[in-house]
Amino acid sequence: MFLRVMGALSGVPLQRAFSGWLLDVLFERFPEDMRLLAMMTAAGRWSGSASGDCEPVLAAIPHRDRVTQIATLSDIDRAAFRRAPRGRMAD
């Protein structure tokens, strides 16, 4: 319902942050809503934020694991929404 309401509001930019496992569940249980989200993302109305795949506390894990977590979720976003999240991880 939320996505349908947001989809009807043109000109409202939105940000999303979903973990990899949550995206899997949403695509499985709510395919129509996720198609709408993909269309809104393609239109530039909804953008993703870089995060970790398994909701890690990034500051608490080693750098190589942070990079892997962010890269994994970015790959999922690219596959699902044809666009990677924006943002840059500091070295």
Q: Show contacts of 28-33: CB within 8 Å, 24+ apart.
A: 33/3, 33/4
Looking at residue 86, its pLDDT comes to: 65
Q: What is the pLDDT of residue 46?
A: 79
Burial string for 7-25 (b: 16+ CB within 10 Å, else e) reads beeeeeeeebebbbeebee
Instruction: In whole angstroms, give the CA distance from residue 88 to residue 71.
Output: 11
pTM over 0.75: no
- pLDDT by residue for the chain (91 residues), tens digit each? 787 887 787 777 788 788 888 888 999 999 998 998 888 888 888 777 778 888 889 899 999 999 999 899 888 888 888 876 665 544 4
